[in-house]
Amino acid sequence: MACILLLASCTEPTPQNPTNKLVSTDSVQQNLLLLNQAFVALEQQEINEYIAQHRLNVHLSENGYWYRIDKRGTGNTLKANQLVTIEYYLELLDGTLCYSSEKNGIKQFRVGKFEVEKGLDDFMLLLSLGAEATCIIPSYLAHGVVGDRNCIPPRTPIIYRIKVISIKDN
């Protein structure tokens, strides 16, 4: 019996049939890329419809967010590493108010340090003290495919209405 087991363990492994292989990683990545591009295009359409429906006069940034500066501020525009304090309303395109400085307190962060959504961080570089503005940020520059797991659903664009109330260099 021991001889039979020993002989059986010495045989070469049977080659696998190529049809049993998993789908290639490149193929999966390509499909995910195509799916993501479709989601981005759908979201773009949703934002464009919102802008048209509300007759908003907004500009599209190079980075992919839309913005309108309602009131110019004074002094120089913000720079990276400056500490900025803003009053804000954060809404969804359907008008749902998610967060606000009235409800959640003012927001304070260092510009360019990734302490807030990428789209908001980039947008702040266009503003100065006292500026009031609106920024529509697509999900890929905001909370992405997971949302914030609280009020902002996955793959959802957001709208910031902000006022810059202080800027500090340190």
DSSP structural state of residue 140: G
The mean of the pLDDT values for the chain is 88
Query: Residue 146 is encoded by which pair of tokens?
Result: 């997971």
User: For residue 69, with 0-12 CB atoms within 10 Å meaning exposed, 13-18 middle and 19 or more buried, which class applies?
Assistant: middle
- Does 20 or 146 have the greater pLDDT score? 146
Residue 153, amino acid: P
CATH architecture assignment, domain 59-168: Roll (3.10)
Query: Residue 54 is encoded by which pair of tokens?
Result: 């509300």
Binning pLDDT at 50, 70 and 90, where does residue 16 land? low
Give the per-residue SS3 of 96-124.
Answer: CEEEEHHHHCCEEEECCCCCCCHHHHHHH
Q: Average pLDDT in the 121-142 region?
A: 97
Report how far residue 42's alpha carbon sits from residue 12's, in angstroms, rounded to the nearest whole number: 53
**Would you kindly state where each structural domain of the chain is located, as residue ranges?**
59-168
pTM listed for this prediction: 0.81
